Amino acid sequence: MRKDDAMPLLTKPRTASSTPRRPTNVSLDRALVEEARAMGVNLSQACENGIAAQLARLRRERWLAENAAALESSNAHVDERGLPLAGYRQF
């Protein structure tokens, strides 16, 4: 198994009921807000989901950058020698 996209889950997902809330003001595009309200979108939850997604992308990018050398070394080892237990595979 190549480790091009490997990244462990480092934290448990947070839910609205498990974390304290903090009132925050944000400036959003008026048309987006109007459309979201017309469609019944919870703006607070939508903003939180967007921030969480962005943070997950940034954490992944950081983790991959910090571990690039180890991933390259592991991939080179597998490319040269194959998987350690490949001979025992049943498929």
Q: pLDDT of 52-79, one tens digit each?
A: 999 999 999 999 999 999 999 999 999 9
According to the model, what pLDDT value does residue 86 have? 85
Whole-angstrom distance, CA of residue 88 vs CA of residue 59: 36
Query: What is the reported pTM?
Result: 0.67
Whole-angstrom distance, CA of residue 48 vs CA of residue 54: 10
According to the model, what pLDDT value does residue 16 have? 58
Say if CB 70 and CB 4 are below 8 A apart. no
Mean of pLDDT values over 13-28: 80
Q: Give the model confidence (pLDDT) of 33-54 as tens digits.
A: 999 999 999 999 999 999 999 9
Q: How confident is the model at residue 89 (pLDDT cuts 50, 70, 90)?
A: confident
Whole-angstrom distance, CA of residue 26 vs CA of residue 71: 39
